[in-house]
Amino acid sequence: MYEKSDTVEVCLEAKQISKIYPGTLALDKVDIKLYRGKVNVLIGENGAGKSTLMKIIAGVEQPTEGTILFHGNEVSFTNTREAAEAGIGIIHQELNLFPNLTVAQNIFMAREKTKYGKINEGEHNKQTKDVLQKLEQAIEPDKIVGELRVGQQQIIEIAKTMIQKELSILIMDEPTSSLSNKEVEVLFHLIEELKQQGVAIVYISHRMEEIMRIGDTVTILRDGKLVASERVSEIDLPWIVEKMVGHSGKKIKKNEHKKLGKEILKVENLVLPREDGLALDDVSFSLFEGEILGIYGMLGAGRTEILECLMGRNKDVKGDFFVDGKYAKPKSVPDQISKGFAYIPEDRQKEGLIQSLSVAKNLTISSLKNYTWFFHLLKKQEENAVTETIKNFFIKVSNSDLPIYSLSGGNQQKVVIGKSILTSPKILLLDEPTRGIDISAKADVFEIVNKLADQGIAVILVSSELNEMINVADRVIVLSKGKVTGEFTGSGVNEQSLMRAATGGE
Ligand SMILES: Nc1ncnc2c1ncn2[C@@H]1O[C@H](COP(=O)(O)OP(=O)(O)OP(=O)(O)O)[C@@H](O)[C@H]1O
Ligand SMILES: [Mg+2]
């Protein structure tokens, strides 16, 4: 990739790395070089082996075969602590935080500072404050982590690696999946600083525009094999997509001439208080059978709150709710499920899956009543539902009896979506459904959503991706600071109109 004459320094070289899990060849003789002071991007479809390769470099997993040269010397780390001591930090794809502990306690977990034999909380709080300031976050060190929103929790994960001394490699496995645009900018600024200090950054992401913007080199994996390594300046987006999926990619297609059914949901004058004012301020809208209604807005505009109110998770909401023309104020989550609502939450790791169960059980746990007859479980029906869903969503798993944690991050997301669709809902609420999902699977997810809408299911889609709003939604309502600031259909759904309404018309 780089010529001998280029003055770049290889900081780590992994040679012929293979990793076998029971029944899965996750990596097949992969070579990779990481360059000092560069952003080394790693991409590939869900299940391609990205996280596994990085876990091996960071000492979380051991390779079945292969060698790793770090600054020219062969190393084999048996755990993350050894890798951390050598200067390798990793920000995992999944959040690894203790929700009931404070921010400072999480940041100093397993590397507590002591003074006279006691944990030096003062020092912890001070350093936490410093690092959060650097990340431009006004979060108090004694705040309980579980009370932070997902994006802020992701920032705490980033802060954890920042206090590590003398980093020479920092691995970021999808660090921006829950971050707002502003938070992404702060992170990119930080990455720039780390590059200056000579840190080799490994950056994993499914957001192509990020890769083109901050990447120096790109390595592409497909099905556990190395497909290509190139300098980002030498290539373009179509080239990446072609290498990644083996064809030029699928486009999301909108059904332009569809007929909507009757009004299935109507909400009027929703008001929801929060600490510093109103999360929802007099919100009213309707939803029709077969419609895909987009809700767009900046972070904190009230998008997720609307879905939570509809799902019966927020008891403090005032206003009127009508389902099928009948007054139906949400009482509880089970009550809403019985009325035909299904919800795919933003924080899927925590809320969507039971880690101790198999892929199959996770898929069918919410829809068991569909496979029972007078209290008997109809094994065949259940199996069919599982097989169908795995096929429809291209879930990469060799056997559905495997535990859910053995799936790659993106494939776990697909299970959460498949699971809620199996409940045969009438109203489907999707909160950022394509987060962490690779580009070809994104098109698959929306193809399924379109199909469901064609069958008459009403869908509400919350997404911060403008192109998803434009390419998928039939109608979009825009929120700003809890108020509806715009409603668009047809050609009115475009980047300019949505952005203008989202920023409150400024
Ligand atoms: N603990 C495990 N046990 C069994 N199989 C596993 C385990 N961890 C990963 N795998 C398998 O290894 C393969 C590679 O997974 P990996 O998590 O590295 O993918 P990825 O490229 O990070 O995908 P994503 O974009 O979805 O995060 C997948 O087929 C996955 O199911
Ligand atoms: Mg991964």
Residue 506: predicted pLDDT: 54
- Closest CA relative to residue 218, chosen from 207, 202, 198, 200: 202
CB 359, CB 401: distance < 8 Å: yes
- Listed in sequence order, the DSSP H helices in 262-395 are 303-310, 333-338, 348-351, 359-364, 379-392
Residue 258: predicted pLDDT: 76
Per-residue pLDDT, averaged over 223-235, amounts to 95
Residue 50: predicted pLDDT: 97
CB 393, CB 448: distance < 8 Å: yes
- Ramachandran region, residue 364 (left: φ > 0; alpha: ψ -120 to 50; beta: rest): alpha
Element (H, E) at 440: helix 439-454
Per-residue pLDDT, averaged over 483-488, amounts to 95
Span 261-340+425-506: which CATH code? Answer: 3.40.50.300
**Residue bearing the bigger pLDDT, 414 or 5:** 414
Residue 465: predicted pLDDT: 85
Q: Does the pLDDT at position 505 exceed 70?
A: no
- Of all protein residues, the one whose alpha carbon is nearest to atom 2 of ligand 1 is 406
Residues 6+ apart with CB under 8 A from 415: 352, 353, 359, 362, 363, 395, 404, 407
Domains 10-245 and 261-340+425-506 in one fold: yes
- Quickly state the pLDDT bin for 444 (edges 50, 70, 90): confident
- Distances, alpha carbon 161 to alpha carbons 79, 84, 105, 189, 415, in Å: 16, 9, 14, 16, 30
Residue 29: predicted pLDDT: 97
Cα 316 from Cα 309, distance rounded (Å): 9
The burial class, CB within 10 Å (0-12 / 13-18 / 19+), for 230 is: middle
**Residue bearing the bigger pLDDT, 189 or 118:** 189
- Quickly state the pLDDT bin for 409 (edges 50, 70, 90): confident
Q: Does the pLDDT at position 413 exceed 60?
A: yes
- Quickly state the pLDDT bin for 448 (edges 50, 70, 90): confident
Q: Which of 18, 24, 394 to mutate to test the pocket of ligand 1 (most atoms within 8 A of CB)?
A: 24
- Closest CA relative to residue 432, chosen from 295, 340, 255: 295
Q: Does the pLDDT at position 114 exceed 90?
A: no
Q: Does the pLDDT at position 443 exceed 80?
A: yes
What amino acid is encoded at 221 in this protein? L
Q: Which ligand is nearest to the CA of 19?
A: 1
Write the pLDDT tens digit of every residue in 123-171.
899 999 999 998 888 899 999 998 888 888 888 988 988 887 789 999 9
Q: Which of 52, 244, 415 to mutate to test the pocket of ligand 1 (most atoms within 8 A of CB)?
A: 52
Write the pLDDT tens digit of every residue in 329-361.
999 998 999 899 999 887 766 667 888 899 999
Output b/e per residue, 434-446; b: 16+ Cβ within 10 A.
bbbbbbbbbbbbb
Q: Which of 51, 61, 437 to mutate to test the pocket of ligand 1 (most atoms within 8 A of CB)?
A: 51
Cα 61 from Cα 84, distance rounded (Å): 14
DSSP string covering 380-430: HHHHHHHHHHHHHTT---S-TTSBGGGS-HHHHHHHHHHHHHTT--SEEEE
Element (H, E) at 452: helix 439-454
Residue 51: predicted pLDDT: 96
- Quickly state the pLDDT bin for 257 (edges 50, 70, 90): low
Bridge-based pairing state of the strands 118-119 and 114-115: antiparallel
Write the pLDDT tens digit of every residue in 89-100.
999 888 889 999
Q: Does the pLDDT at position 215 exceed 90?
A: yes
Mean pLDDT over the full length of the chain: 90
- Closest CA relative to residue 304, chosen from 144, 463, 489: 463
- Of all protein residues, the one whose alpha carbon is nearest to atom 19 of ligand 1 is 47
CB 87, CB 169: distance < 8 Å: yes
For 490, the token pair is 């047809």
- Quickly state the pLDDT bin for 196 (edges 50, 70, 90): very high
Output b/e per residue, 358-392; b: 16+ Cβ within 10 A.
bbbbbbbebbeeebeeeeeeeeeebeebbeebbeb
Q: Which ligand is nearest to the CA of 207?
A: 1
Cα 142 from Cα 129, distance rounded (Å): 10
Residue 350: predicted pLDDT: 66
- Listed in sequence order, the DSSP H helices in 100-180 are 103-107, 121-134, 150-162
CB 66, CB 45: distance < 8 Å: no
Span 10-245: which CATH code? Answer: 3.40.50.300
Instruction: Give residue ranges with CB within 6 A of ligand 1.
Output: 21, 24, 26, 44, 46-52, 93, 396, 406-411, 438
- Of 114-118, 296-300, 369-373, 458-462, the range with the highest mean pLDDT is 458-462
Torsion of CA 114, 118, 121, 124, to 10 degrees: 10
The secondary structure of residue 102, as a DSSP letter, is B
Q: 377: helix, coil or strand?
A: strand
Residue 356: predicted pLDDT: 87
Cα 179 from Cα 493, distance rounded (Å): 24
Q: 224: helix, coil or strand?
A: coil
Per-residue pLDDT, averaged over 5-22, amounts to 92
Radius of gyration of the chain (CA): 24
Q: Does the pLDDT at position 457 exceed 70?
A: yes
Per-residue pLDDT, averaged over 364-393, amounts to 83
Domain edges within the chain:
10-245, 261-340+425-506, 351-424
